[in-house]
Amino acid sequence: MNDWEWELLEDKTSVKSVEISGVQVQRGDRVRLCPKAGGDVFDLALKGKIAAVESIEQDYEGKLHVCVVLDDDPGRDIGLMRQPGHRFFFDPGELEPIANGNETPVRETKKILIAGIGNIFLADDGFGGEVAARLAKQTFSPGVRVGDFGIRGFDLAYALMEGYETTILVDAFPGEGQPGALFVVEPDLQDLDSAETQPGFIEPHAMNPINVLRMAKNMGGELKRVLLVGCVPATLGPEEGAMGLSEPVAAAVDEAEKLIDSLVTRILAGEWPAKK
């Protein structure tokens, strides 16, 4: 698809799902790319690749196009920010749902996002990033993604558009207890619009989890379950900033790693939330 065609799609209508080979495919589903012979040379080079559906769009002529982001693209997050070169459009007939192939269907794999957030230049606010770095060294099931989003609120909002069944935010957050104390809370996603901050507003150099969740929701993201694993900070440093965690918060990193690993295990086993 050339640049002119891509620009035309900017004036498009989003479609929730499309039937491909008898399977209803929607955003977040995995597909195998099967470009038609005689098509764009670059598209042909992607034959056989596995990708995630980022959106289904209908152009001004009523034709459907499926926008995908490659699983093995190191810049896949850029694609989710709607950047050409990392997101690709295919006709529905050029895609094969994974459910029809030999791989495990995505719908049978619970998708979990573990997102470390916070500013490493504000002392204990770097807690989330440190925990994410530890977890990134572990081997989780294919549906689990670990990322250190720092203060990149837009990047996290776009990641939330991928349809994760559970998102675990890891952050230094005021709570009950002494510095270093850990807690798990589940924000009320139905109450996002009643928060005091402006709907959809994100400061470019800060990370407010509630604002990010609201932005993702306003962009059409389906937020299912969000957990916050918080750690009570001892200090956020002086005004000029400071790197490095305080002693009690640094000591809590190991426990946070074990806690999140336990949460993931329970979620994948269907044991979270606990059945009443």
Q: What is the pLDDT of residues 157-180, one digit of tens each?
A: 888 888 888 999 999 988 788 999
Residue 2 above 50 pLDDT? no
Strand order in the sheet with 166-172: 144-150, 112-117, 166-172, 225-231, 182-185
Place of tokens 């200090």: 235
Tell which residue, 73, 69, 41, has the closest CA to residue 55.
69
- Decide: residue 112, CB within 10 A, 0-12 exposed, 13-18 middle, 19+ buried: buried
What confidence category does residue 245 fall into, taking pLDDT thresholds of 50, 70 and 90? very high
Bridge partners of 25, per DSSP, are 18
Class of domain 109-268: alpha beta
pLDDT value at position 181?
A: 94
How is the chain split into domains, by residue range? 3-100, 109-268
Nearest to 119 by CA among 148, 146, 145: 148
Residue 14 has pLDDT above 80, yes or no: no
Q: How do residues 205-238 score in pLDDT, each as one tens digit?
A: 456 777 788 888 787 777 888 999 999 999 988 8
CATH 2.30.30.490: does it fit domain 3-100?
Answer: yes
Q: What is the pLDDT of residue 115?
A: 94
Residues in the chain: 276
Mean pLDDT computed over every residue of the chain: 79
C-alpha dist (Å) from residue 220 to 10, 36, 76, 172, 215: 16, 31, 19, 28, 9
28 pLDDT above the threshold of 50: yes
| Res. 81: pLDDT tops 90 | no
pLDDT of the residue at 189: 77
* Global model pTM greater than 0.95: no
Distance CA 6, CA 42 (A): 14
- Name the one residue in this structure whose structure tokens are 């499309």: 18
Q: Which two tokens stand for residue 151?
A: 């203060």
> Which residue has tokens 């490493």?
120
- Which two tokens mark 41? 């040379």
